[in-house]
Structure 1
Amino acid sequence: MSSSNTGTWSFPPFRSSPRRRSVGGLPKHSASQPWEPFEKTDRRYRSSPSMLQSLYMAWMAQTQRARYLKTGGVLGLLVLFYLYFSSSSGHVSTHYTAETSPTTRCVQAFDSSKPLVQYAIMIDAGSTGSRIHVYRFNNCGPTPELESEEFKMTEKKAGGSGLSSYGADAEGAAKSLDPLLKVAVDSVPEAFKSCTPIAVKATAGLRLLGDEMSKNILNAVRTRLETEYPFPVVSKENGGVEIMKGEDEGVFAWITTNYLLGKIGGPDNTPTAAVFDLGGGSTQIVFQPSFAVAEHGGMPEKMPDGDHKYKLGFGGRAFELYQHSHLGYGLMSARKALHTHVVEKMHASKAEAGWIMKPLANPCITPGETKKVNITFPSDHELAGEYEVSMKGPEDALPAQCRALTEEILFKDKACDLAPCSFNGVHQPSLEKTFAREDVYIFSYFYDRTHDLGMPDSFTIRELHDLTANVCGGEKHWSSFAGIEGALADLKDRPEWCLDLNFITALLHTGYEMPMHREVKIAKKIKGNELGWCLGASLPLLETGSGWQCRVKEISLTQLIDNVPDIAAFYRIFNNIPWTTIRARESIHFFRAGVKPLWEDAENVEGGCMVVKVRKDGGRAVRAWEEVCLMACGGQLQASVTQGISYSPRLYWVHISIWTKQGGNRRSVELLTQTLLAGLSPDLRPKSSDDYYFKKHSDHQGWADIVERQTKAATT
């Protein structure tokens, strides 16, 4: 692993991806020069029969139809109908009114290159079950604002309902997410589905299946998402469907917390909060240390390099975080470690034979209670094998002895290769010196074990110490919990309460070296939103370049020419497309069978586009598009070289494009230009040469990038 981890997600100022821009404007035609088809002419138009009348006659002419069929058909309307409804960026805002805006917060995005509303979907594939989060954001301000969240978990079943529970049945594992994905399909409006990214992050539990099984499950999940659902799946390179790294989990939780607190995303350098998470198998710490130069020295100028360093960009700010995931120091792992430690201490005392079959004194068990635990020793241990051991609490409370045991399993005396260290030989900048006054949030089991006993949202380590002593005192000291719903029943039902609280206290005070007066905050939600890593992992997906693109929805209807015999058949197709509701920067394309509306398509690489700009007002754009469609269907737009036509709305205009495969043939372009301009109704024709132009695909700004990608793909 490298010495410094660069964050999986980086958040430079949000912007749209590079667009295929059309640069209009070539020298106007001069009377002293011959006609150049690449120039914009100010010629006068001659009168002609109406377009629709011409089409009626052309369509009914059998010779015309025969000639058209012979050329293979200009458009897919007659041979194969392709409807591509796509967004070139997915990050382009549309102008709304208060009545039409998809959000009540505003009518226009803060950044016009971003959509006003965005959705993101994250699936947390845990070991015991999977959970889906469907987030809705608006871009009314400089940072996305979370408006709502839809959440659902898989139903519990024997053996667990997580992906790993399906073992070798990869397809079954993938299908287990269907009930969750129904929430996404129902929650995300149809107009947003094709630009709503989805990612799946599995926990380390899936890795226990082995490389082959886990890989098969992840591949099956990706395939099902890509083939059965309308959402774009984040790429493999960007971790779209993967087993999440431990460091990412902690950092994503840090992003979630500080985003909801409003500490990141703004222009000012607001101090951030630290995040401490206590799970069952591990505990994570993430914070942003500051290395102010001390008056008398003794402080490093910056954090040393190593796996603990995590660089992150968000909202125009750069963060250098300390993070570490302490495996084996989750609450359930700590219980097992402490019970094992008690057995080993007894074994080291050379107790009489058969001692392990008798109840063992354990100061971390509630006084007067007994707890049976299972302990396993490795084959090279003197006690190799599995045992069921009875742990018996003391007659009188011994909280200090319990705390001593919990501190011993932290291994504070282990060699520290890179000072300073927290526990178990792990480097960590001193919280007292580099993070003395900022907020500290503690989650998960930290929250569960304190909140359920009535602790406030904020308390000191000293107050946590006092709570621990009270709980360890046994039932005769529990009267103070009588007014807390469910607390007494919970204390009586779980003999390891004293162990849990002592470990939590020791972890924070002795392990992470937080002073007794230091205040910590517990939370399960902030501003009504669940804490955890999912939101933090979803926010980066709103950024362009995060590994996904809006999906192109392709509808393919095979129709032979004899199935479109007249104008009525054409209009049954045309009239069922909601032209006026197509959003800015989305496009509808009618193309030849087998040709896609991409510059790099093999049939298009030598071609170009004739573009006519028509204003939207008064229905002019849709009328012009209708006439262009009919001209193309009637074979009037150079049937042998025309590849297709496109309808692309902008804010006030619609760009109508005629794609030709002979971009370098000037005579061909000249004839196409003359035919198109003459064929439009007089009131729809461009009023000036600024309203139409021809451009080869290879002359566009993004062409070099396409060639580079194709070359790279060919060599790999």
Structure 2
Amino acid sequence: MIKRRQPHNESLSDKINRYRGAILVISVPVLLVTFVLCLMPRAPVDGGVGGVSSNRKFSPNYAVRMDPGSNKYAVVFDAGSSGSRVHVFCFDQKLDLVRIGDGLELFEQLKPGLSAHAADPKEAADSLLPLLEKAEVVVPQAMREKTPVKVGATAGLRQLGVDASERILQAVKDVLKVKSSLKSDDDWVTVLDGTQEGAYQWVTINYLLKKLGKKYSQTVGVVDLGGGSVQMAYAISEEDAAKAPRITNGEDTYVKEMFLMGQKYYLYVHSYLKYGLLAARAEILGLEKDSDNPCILAGYDGVYKCGGNDYKASALPSGSNWNKCREAAIKALKVNEPTCTHMKCTFGGVWNGGGGDGQKNLFVASFFFDRAAEAGFVDASKPVATVSPAEFQKAAQGACATTLEDAKSKYPHVESGNLPYICMDLVYQYTLLVDGFALQPQQQITLVKKVEYQNSLVEAAWPLGSAIEAVSAAR
């Protein structure tokens, strides 16, 4: 058989025609893959806001298109009795916190608080400017005019009276209008009533623990001990809410209805004005104004200033005494107040909410954590600790047996201005928990300073709850 030789001068078109079958087999799948890839959206290199990485990780199996403009910022000032603090938060469309720099919030503080400038409202307002400047740096410039700035004054201003507090608040409103590039509104600068503060605190802690949206029995109760007031808040059943006493003397109602993340909650919340840690000192010292006090450490003779009033603060010749100080704390709390007309009361004739599953897991914040850490039975480097009221009792007994001179070395982390009152503070905290809120001495409670959320620590304070409300209203 003779083989047919291919001509050397075969044209390109002849070659394509001869191999067209093989070319089609190879090219069709390639074209299909290229077409699909062109249709797929590309994931951005950085899903952050304002040049800050959002720290989100995307699955390699799909791409997600993110719009940085969908995130919302909120700036909240906590103008408390012991100092002023600013919190800045950023939320995504699902109301999850987005990272700001190294954490999930900006938190800065300074002392003293607005109430320390009662005689000069402008000076009070100007004291917030260093915090405002730090907050504005964090918010991207293009988003500042859309970012709400709220100022919530708490017990410190409540105790000044209406006239003095209104003058300070008006000065703050004026400063924000002139000096701030953020979105301000006169209605956002206010003295929080105690129930608002307590409700926001409950929202904050349950949000950070990812309890919101779950049944009320799966949420945690909150006690927040500030300088001027103490709040208790916890979710109760609809049946217990229906049994709540009806208040007719102008006070806030005991139960607030809140709809959060698809779940309706009946929140028992009450704020006890004048029973925050610093205000309680005045209540205890005021029982016998001109006498030495069994709660003051031996070696101290001074004056305690609170709410524009002076109180004699001097030790007994024998020094502080646990038993006598406890009697004074019980008397100041009005534990045996005969005016309780409800089913069951805490102290001062106040309904206790009825208890229940929403109160069983109790988170206790603010000064409770601070004094426990300073007294040495809680590690200050860890933001959460499980303790019992009995540990406050033991610490108080040790403090009351100490002189002022010895306390300087025994409690190195207590500020010098607070040192004479360390016995009083710890006795009061134990009495508040056991006699005021009727906890068992051995009951386990959680002291909390910050809560871990998305691998970061966030302050367990009411401003986050207020920020969640602000950005929710703007959605």
- Matched residues, percent identical? 28
Counting only pairs closer than 5 Å after superposition, residues 247-286 of structure 1 correspond to structure 2 as 247-264=195-212, 266=213, 271-286=218-233
2:270 counterpart (315, 320, 324): 324
Shift of 1:463: 2.8
Question: 2 CA distance for matches of 1:109 and 1:287?
Answer: 41
Q: Call closer, same or farther: CA 1:225–1:114 in 2, change over 3 Å.
A: same
Which residue does 2:424 correspond to in 1?
A: 499
Aligned ranges 1:342-381 → 2 under 5 Å: 342=288, 360=292, 362-366=293-297, 368-373=298-303
Q: For the structure 1 residues 291 and 495, does the alpha-carbon distance in structure 2 shift closer, same or farther, using more than 3 Å as the test? A: same
Are 1:283 and 1:330, in contact at CA under 8 Å, matched by a contact in 2?
Answer: yes
Give, as a single letter, the amino acid of the residue that structure 2 aligns with 1:364. C
Q: Does 1:405 align with 2:328?
A: yes
Are residue 453 (structure 1) and residue 375 (structure 2) matched? yes
Per-residue displacement from partner, 1:139-164 (whole Å, max 9, x unpaired)?
Answer: 4xx4422522223345x5xxx56387
CA distance in 1, matches of 2:399, 2:160: 40
Pairwise mapping of residues 147-226 of structure 1 onto structure 2 (< 5 A)? 147=99, 148-153=104-109, 160=112, 162=114, 165=117, 167=119, 170=122, 174-206=125-157, 214-215=165-166, 217-219=168-170, 221-226=172-177
2:390–2:442 contact (8 Å) kept in structure 1: yes
Name the SS of the counterpart of 2:43 in structure 1: coil
Report the TM-score, using the length of structure 1 for normalisation.
0.49
2:121, 2:397 → 1: CA distance? 49
- Does residue 232 of the first structure (1) align with residue 179 of the second (2)? no
- Is this contact kept in 1: 2:194–2:272, CA < 8 A? no
Alignment match, 1:428: 352
How far residue 275 of structure 1 moved from its aligned partner, in angstroms, is 1.4
For residues 155 and 66 of structure 2, what CA distance do their matches in structure 1 show? 40
Distance verdict in 2 for CA 1:408–1:504, change over 3 Å: same
| Greater than 6 Å deviation, 4+ residue runs | 107-114, 489-493
Q: CA deviation at 1:216?
A: 5.4
Three-state SS of the structure 1 residue aligned to 2:218 is coil
What runs of 5+ residues in structure 2 fail to find an aligned partner? 1-40, 49-53, 248-252, 379-384
SS at match of 1:413: coil
Deviation at 1:200, TM superposition (A): 2.0
What is the CA-CA distance between 1:314 and the residue it aligns to? 1.3
TM-score by length of 2: 0.72
For the aligned residue pairs, the C-alpha RMSD in angstroms reads 4.0
1:225 to 1:520, Cα distance in 2 relative to 1, 3 A: same
Distance 1:166 1:493 in 2: 22
Q: Secondary structure of the equivalent of 1:515?
A: coil
Q: Is the 8 A contact 1:163 1:174 kept in 2?
A: no
Contact 1:372–1:391 (8 Å) recurs in 2 = no
- C-alpha distance 232-110 of structure 1, shift in aligned 2 (>3 A): farther
**What is the deviation of 1:537?**
0.7
Q: Relative to structure 1, is the Cα distance of residues 179 and 365 closer, same or farther in structure 2, using a 3 angstrom cutoff? A: closer
Q: Report which structure shows greater RCO (CA 8 Å, sep ≥6).
A: 1
SS of 2:146's equivalent in the other structure is coil
CA distance in 2, matches of 1:303, 1:388: 40
Task: Specify the structure having the higher radius of gyration (Cα).
Answer: 1
Partner deviation per Cα, 1:192-248 (whole Å, 9 max, x = no partner): 333322222233544667656654554454455446544323x45xx3122222211
CA distance in 2, matches of 1:363, 1:207: 29
Q: Taking structure 1 as reference, are residues 524 and 505 closer, same or farther at Cα in structure 2, changes over 3 Å only?
A: same
AA at the equivalent of 1:365 = I
- Structure 1 contact 164–206 (Cα < 8 Å) conserved: no
Residues 493 and 195 (structure 1), Cα distance of their counterparts in 2 relative to 1, 3 Å cut = closer
Unaligned runs of 5+ in 1: 1-94, 293-298, 344-355, 377-384, 547-716
Structure 1 position 135, deviation (Å): 1.2
Relative to structure 1, the CA distance from residue 123 to residue 110 in structure 2 (aligned partners, 3 Å threshold; closer, same or farther) is farther
Cα distance, 1:120 vs structure 2: 1.0
Is the 1:375–1:386 Cα contact (8 Å) retained in structure 2?
A: yes
Q: How many residues align?
A: 404
Equivalent in the alignment of 2:462: 533
